[in-house]
């Protein structure tokens, strides 16, 4: 269902714009984070100097307020940057998982088609053999043997193709399992980070 929704042509047109917006937001968050780090360092040094100088309480409270605001901005920008990157990675993994599942379904259909074709060719081989047992004509035996040889070769080719498709299906299954494990690990990491964020709050 989600794949059908995301396959709407409108998203492909908007994708370029949103990629630019994502990069812009990342750059903005990095700038805000670096600015918050600079402000924290600045007001921490001023805070220590003012405390040592024993100035009036209003100036000291003003510096504490500035320090608190810079620390708040640091936490907000840092967590926003991190969660934005986690969200981007999660979306990428979900897209990969959807593609792998689609290729897995396509490979399953190919394997089913190949097995059906192999069954049909085997049935064609069995019919001439039954006709051979009923008719004892040598000339017909030679012609049916030639057709049988051709059919055997075709069956061998189909078996080789079936083996290739089954190998590709197995590989796709392994890739889908790896992507699922990676997304589960990312989900656990995200949950742990949200718990740490709640504890910090």
- Comparing 11-15, 87-91, 175-179, 186-190, the range with the smallest average pLDDT is 11-15
End-to-end, the C-alpha distance of the chain in Å comes to: 37
Mean pLDDT of 91-105: 84
C-alpha span between 78 and 30 (Å, rounded): 8
Q: Read off the tokens for 32.
A: 């805000």
pTM above 0.75, yes or no: no
- Is residue 54 over pLDDT 90? no
Mean pLDDT of 55-70: 79
Mean pLDDT of 80-85: 90
The Cα-based distances of 112 to 50, 86, 115, 145 in angstroms read: 79, 39, 5, 29
C-alpha span between 98 and 70 (Å, rounded): 42
Q: pLDDT confidence of 72, banded at 50, 70, 90?
A: very high
Give the tens place of pLDDT for each residue, 111-153.
888 888 888 888 887 776 666 566 555 556 667 778 888 888 8
Secondary structure class of 19 (helix, strand, coil): helix
Mean pLDDT of 187-200: 83
């Amino acid at each position: 269902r989600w794949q059908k929704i995301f396959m709407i042509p409108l998203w492909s047109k908007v994708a370029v714009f949103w990629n630019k917006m994502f990069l812009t937001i990342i750059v903005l968050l990095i700038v805000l984070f670096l600015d918050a780090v600079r402000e924290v360092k600045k007001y921490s040094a001023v805070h220590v100097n003012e405390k040592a100088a024993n100035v009036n309480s209003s100036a000291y409270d003003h510096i504490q307020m500035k320090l608190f605001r810079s620390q708040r901005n640091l936490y907000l920008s840092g967590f926003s940057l991190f969660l934005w990157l986690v969200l981007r990675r999660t979306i990428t993994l979900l897209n990969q998982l959807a593609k792998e599942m689609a290729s897995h379904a396509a490979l399953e259909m190919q394997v089913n088609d190949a097995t059906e074709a192999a069954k049909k060719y085997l049935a064609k081989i069995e019919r001439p053999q039954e006709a051979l047992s009923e008719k004892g004509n040598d000339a017909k035996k030679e012609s049916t043997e030639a057709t049988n040889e051709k059919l055997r070769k075709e069956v061998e080719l189909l078996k080789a193709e079936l083996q290739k498709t089954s190998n590709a299906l197995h590989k796709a299954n392994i890739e889908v399992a790896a992507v699922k494990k990676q997304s589960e690990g990312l989900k656990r990491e995200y949950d742990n980070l949200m718990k740490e964020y709640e504890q910090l709050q």
